[in-house]
Structure 1
């Protein structure tokens, strides 16, 4: 025990060794002591006050673990402004920054690991200022006015792992723009203005794990577009203008675990669209598209698929063999906001592992017990709200299932207000509160229900 106390004592002494300058010397900036150094915040001030605060800090020889310059008037980051300072995390956010002079960051090359220049007025990547940041791990250039990424813009950033350029106006990415970013795990091209995939630039990122290219204007992808991205684990192509998924388009992405294609205009998925994804794909999002039937032929090769999202499409029916060949691994199935009127009796027979089923907001009047029998024992959550359900014995299973939730998602399910219509009365009832005798269960059906309740 003594050595634990001793170690705690050393850590406590170490944190107490850090000391902020007197408040009146750096006002309107604020300094607090953290375990790893100082945390300095300057907000709603100008270049003159910030420069003065930097001068005061230079005399302290302290580690500045966080330097946060937010909501300031700082149009230009001047040369050598941080000379003599040991800064680990630097944020210049929403401060009208438009110019980063060549030597403004050069003195921080040995220690700086995170740099956030988001929500400013940069129109290009200040590449010459970044060149000496050899220990930088995270670079955030979100919400600027950058229109193009040029060759060698990130040269020298050999340790960079996360680069983000969201919400810029990027329309051009040169072929060697990302060359040298061998350690990058996250991609920078979400919410640019791409009309086509910048394939030549991306192909050099052979260690990339996550590619986010959603909310662009990409209307076409083809086989070979993802060549060179063999390490990719997650691909997000949501909210583009894709109308079809052609054959073998993802064939190089054999390690892909998650694929998001929601929010496009997809109407056709080729039977060989997911060739290459057989061994690792577990999460597939196809919601908010124009799909008219479950793309079973394309899905059958995905024998490790666990999460399938087909919400908000135009699916009107579920064939009996819709999930044959791949359904036994699926734990999450979302079919809400479609146009499904009838579910055939064998439709869910292959969904042996299903835990979450969403059928909300379709056109289902009846969901008979024989349809649900294969999955009712594994289900933890089911949503059948906002359907024109008829109050009769076909809903008996749902009432019994709710009563036997046990370790399932009780609170979530109990709060759901699932209604059915009693045709003879032209009145709606909560299914979970409807008495059995009102559900028109007679003979053997009623007897089975009563046994289930006891």
Structure 2
């Protein structure tokens, strides 16, 4: 009985091995001569087929070779071809998971072109072609599609139900088309799964609110590089799960009251590269609990919008580069500075810093003040943040060498590893007027300047750097003389 069981087990193993061997044979690439001018390589999950710099007939011939074999084509990449029209049933009998038709002058996709691979296809890339409209009829049977890339085409509008049938789609990118209008029903059918939508680089002049409202599963919305000149309360109603919103490089001049109030889960907001000069005190109402990343750079802001920012008590990353800020008030960061780790103020018009400027920034790790008009950066300004700072950029300021700058040298000595390497590469200099020459902030001529030399090597009881003052020679001599006199 035991012998019979052993025989049966051995036979089962042999059958299994045979099946695996057959599978291996089936997954082998066709010969080069069969596939030419296309090529085939083996991937872990299936074949990788590449057809480049050829025409429609050669592609059809290559597909015919593949149809004669039971193969899983994990990647089919048709790039840089002359393929103005994708013929019907061209992929009939093939199992394709990822299809790329890139930079091939494609302008027509027949209704039956993709229907036969609708149960297998998960990614479709038709970027850099000549499509003028969404080929909805060809897409309607792609019921397993997760990613659709239509970047860099010539689509001018999104018609009603343009993507109907793509009920599993999670990522849709339409960057750099010519879209100026979007029908209110354009995204019907995408409500259940769509998580990322890229409409950047088009010609939109307003937020397509009615079209976007049903997309309540959307996590990331990209509307950068359009011509949107105004946003108002209600524009983002319905997008209750949105985590990231990109409005950079539009034509906005102001951020009005409560415009983002529906986006209570928003974590990242990019409105840099506009012409914003007015931010209402209630502009960020609704974002109190989750907003951590705010980009306001490359605008026309003249002062830090403290009243609007005060409610953002979880803000970590604040970018105000390339504005017209000339002064930072003592209370600029009061009420919301505790959580900020990254502050970018480069390329502004800041001429001076007062002692209380950074007092509330208890978590600050990176401070960028590059390319301003600072002559002095006193120690009293920096002492509240030196314990947490890992990066300070003071390059391209007209700094004057003075004793107050020695904090920089002592601070940089305490850095380690990558932070130290990064800071050592920065050429941060000041001008010593008496010699009309520049000195690195790490090599200040402290003796020449008759400075009281300070060391920060030890820690005080509060865990902060304790200053140990060492008098310059002239000061020590004066002290000795004073003692003898008395």
- Regarding TM over 0.5, the answer is yes
Dislocated runs of 4+, deviation >4 Å = 12-17, 443-447
CA distance in 2 between counterparts of 1:358 and 1:210 reads 28
CA distance in 1 between counterparts of 2:158 and 2:76 reads 27
Task: Name 1:225's counterpart in structure 2.
Answer: 235
Distance 1:108 1:428, change over 3 A: same
Distance 1:71 1:236, change over 3 A: same
Q: Any residues of structure 2 matched to 1:20-99 within 5 Å, and which?
A: 20-99=29-108
Q: Deviations over 1:254-313 (max 9, x none)?
A: 000000010000000000000000000000000000000000000000000000000000
Task: Name 2:290's counterpart in structure 1.
Answer: 280
Q: TM-score, normalised by structure 2?
A: 0.89
Q: Are 1:153 and 2:162 an aligned pair?
A: yes
Distance 1:420 1:106, change over 3 A: same
Distance 1:236 1:439, change over 3 A: farther
Residues 15 and 34 of structure 1 are in contact (CA less than 8 Å); yes or no, is this contact kept in structure 2? no
Compare CA radii of gyration and give the structure with the larger one.
2
CA distance in 2 between counterparts of 1:210 and 1:100 reads 28
Q: Deviations over 1:373-417 (max 9, x none)?
A: 110010000001111111111101001111111256111100000
Task: Name 2:183's counterpart in structure 1.
Answer: 174
Q: Deviations over 1:92-143 (max 9, x none)?
A: 0001111000100000111000000000010000000000000000000010
- CA drift of 1:26 comes to 1.2
Q: Are 1:440 and 2:450 an aligned pair?
A: yes
Q: Secondary structure at the match of 2:448?
A: helix
Residues 392 and 440 of structure 1 are in contact (CA less than 8 Å); yes or no, is this contact kept in structure 2? no
- CA drift of 1:426 comes to 1.5
Q: Any residues of structure 2 matched to 1:120-269 within 5 Å, and which?
A: 120-182=129-191, 183-269=193-279
Match for residue 370 of structure 2 among 322, 340, 360:
360
Q: Secondary structure at the match of 2:42?
A: strand
Distance 1:406 1:44, change over 3 A: same
CA distance in 2 between counterparts of 1:44 and 1:445 reads 67
**Can you give the 5+ residue segments of structure 2 that lack an aligned partner in the other structure?**
1-16, 457-466, 472-486
Q: Secondary structure at the match of 1:24?
A: helix
Q: TM-score, normalised by structure 1?
A: 0.95
Count residues in correspondence.
443
- CA drift of 1:180 comes to 1.4
CA distance in 1 between counterparts of 2:470 and 2:397 reads 26
- CA drift of 1:442 comes to 3.3
- CA drift of 1:233 comes to 0.1
CA distance in 2 between counterparts of 1:312 and 1:178 reads 37
Q: Secondary structure at the match of 1:215?
A: coil
- CA drift of 1:33 comes to 1.1
Q: Secondary structure at the match of 1:399?
A: helix
Distance 1:439 1:277, change over 3 A: farther
Q: Deviations over 1:146-177 (max 9, x none)?
A: 00001111000000000000110001100010
Match for residue 386 of structure 2 among 349, 359, 376:
376
- CA drift of 1:331 comes to 0.4
- CA drift of 1:440 comes to 3.4
- Bigger shift: 425-434 or 234-243? 425-434
Q: Deviations over 1:421-452 (max 9, x none)?
A: 0011111111112232134313889983559x
Residues 303 and 326 of structure 2 are in contact (CA less than 8 Å); yes or no, is this contact kept in structure 1? yes
Q: CA RMSD in A?
A: 1.8
Match for residue 333 of structure 2 among 299, 314, 323:
323
Residues 406 and 444 of structure 2 are in contact (CA less than 8 Å); yes or no, is this contact kept in structure 1? no
Residues 293 and 315 of structure 2 are in contact (CA less than 8 Å); yes or no, is this contact kept in structure 1? yes
CA distance in 1 between counterparts of 2:428 and 2:273 reads 28
Task: Name 2:405's counterpart in structure 1.
Answer: 395
Q: Are 1:297 and 2:288 an aligned pair?
A: no
Q: Secondary structure at the match of 1:429?
A: strand
Residues 151 and 176 of structure 1 are in contact (CA less than 8 Å); yes or no, is this contact kept in structure 2? yes
- CA drift of 1:34 comes to 1.0
